[in-house]
């Protein structure tokens, strides 16, 4: 194989490989599900108010029947939600997004937390929300 033909073959192979890659590295967006994961220092959380900023979110739902979710779209890039029920460490909400590849672009904040007796947490230290596949 001449040097020129070898070079062409490598470029072609790389092109095919790139086209078949799972990650949309600059390719078409891929809709999918992301999870909103809670980190909490308490074992008796009963309700949480939060917001999620970033790329578009198509819809949101609670991860299981022990939780109930209420949301409102506040402008194009923010969703405010309240999730009520037996809250614990781990996923609490699933987000349907048009582009799962943009997960890193989401930021989520814990705004308020109440225990199961309705008392508002005085401090949100130790709480965190992350958005990830």
Partner 1 sequence: MNKAAVVRCPVLVLLALSGAVPALAQTPAVGSWREEVRRLRDAPIVLPARGGAKTGKYGFAPRLAARRPTNASVAATIAESEPNDSVRTADSVALGDQATGVVNPAGDVDTWFVDLTAGQFLSVDVDAAQVGSSLDPTLTLLAPDGTTRLAFNDDFDGLDSRISFRVPTSGRYYVVIRAFGGPGTGGPGLTYAINFGTVTCAAVGTEREPNGNPGTASPVAIGTDGSGEICSADSSPVGDVDYWAFTAQAGTTIELDVAAARLGLLVDPFIALFASDGTTRLTFNDDDVTPDPRLQYSIIATGTYYAAVSTLADPGGNPFPYTLHVRLAAQGPGDPITVLAENLGQPTGLAVGSTGDLFASDFTGHRVVRVSGQGVVTTFATGIPIPQGLAFDGFGHLLVASGDGAVYRVTPQGQATRFITDAGFPVGVAVALDGRIWLTDLSDRSLRRYSRTGQFEARFDVIAVGGFGPSALAIGPSGEPYFSNGFEIWKLANGQPERVLRNLSLIGAFAFDVAGNIYATSPVAGSIKLFDPTGTVLADPFSVGPDAPKAVAFGRDGTGATVARLFATDPRVGRLIEMNPAGVALRGLPVGQVPPPFTLDAAAAGLLGGASLSAADLQYLDALGNHNGRYDVGDFQAYLRSVGGLPVAAAMATAQPRPGSDR
Residues found near partner 1 in the complex (CB under 8 A) = 44, 46-49, 65-68, 70-72, 74, 80-82, 84-86, 111-120
- Smallest distance, Å, CB 25 to partner 1? 36
Q: Which is nearer to partner 1, 47 or 103 (CB)?
A: 47
Strands across the sheet containing 59-62? 59-62, 90-97, 32-39, 128-132
Q: State the minimum distance, in angstroms, from the CB of residue 102 to partner 1.
A: 24
Which lies closer to partner 1 via its Cβ, residue 44 or residue 58?
A: 44
Nearest distance in Å: CB 119, partner 1: 5
Tell me whether residue 40 or residue 100 sits nearer to partner 1 (CB atom): 40
The CA-atom distances, in angstroms, between 42 and each of 22, 31, 46, 85, 127 are 38, 34, 10, 14, 9
Q: Give backbone dihedrals phi and psi of 49, rounded to 5 degrees, phi first.
A: -105, 135
Q: Under a CB-based contact definition with an 8 Å cutoff, are residues 51 and 74 in contact?
A: yes
Residues 18 and 11: their CA atoms lie apart, in Å, by: 10
CB of 36 to partner 1, least distance (A): 16
């Amino acid at each position: 194989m001449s040097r020129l033909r070898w070079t062409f073959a490598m470029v072609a192979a790389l092109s095919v490989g790139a086209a078949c890659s799972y990650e949309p590295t600059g390719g078409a967006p891929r809709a999918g599900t992301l999870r909103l994961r809670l980190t909490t220092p308490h074992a008796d959380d009963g309700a949480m108010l939060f917001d999620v900023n970033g790329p578009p979110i198509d819809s949101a739902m609670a991860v299981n029947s022990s939780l109930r979710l209420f949301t409102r779209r506040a402008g194009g890039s923010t969703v405010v939600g309240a999730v009520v029920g037996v809250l614990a460490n781990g996923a609490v909400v699933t987000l349907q997004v048009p582009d799962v590849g943009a997960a890193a672009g989401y930021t989520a904040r814990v705004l308020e937390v109440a225990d199961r007796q309705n008392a508002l947490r005085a401090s949100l230290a130790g709480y965190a929300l992350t958005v990830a596949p």
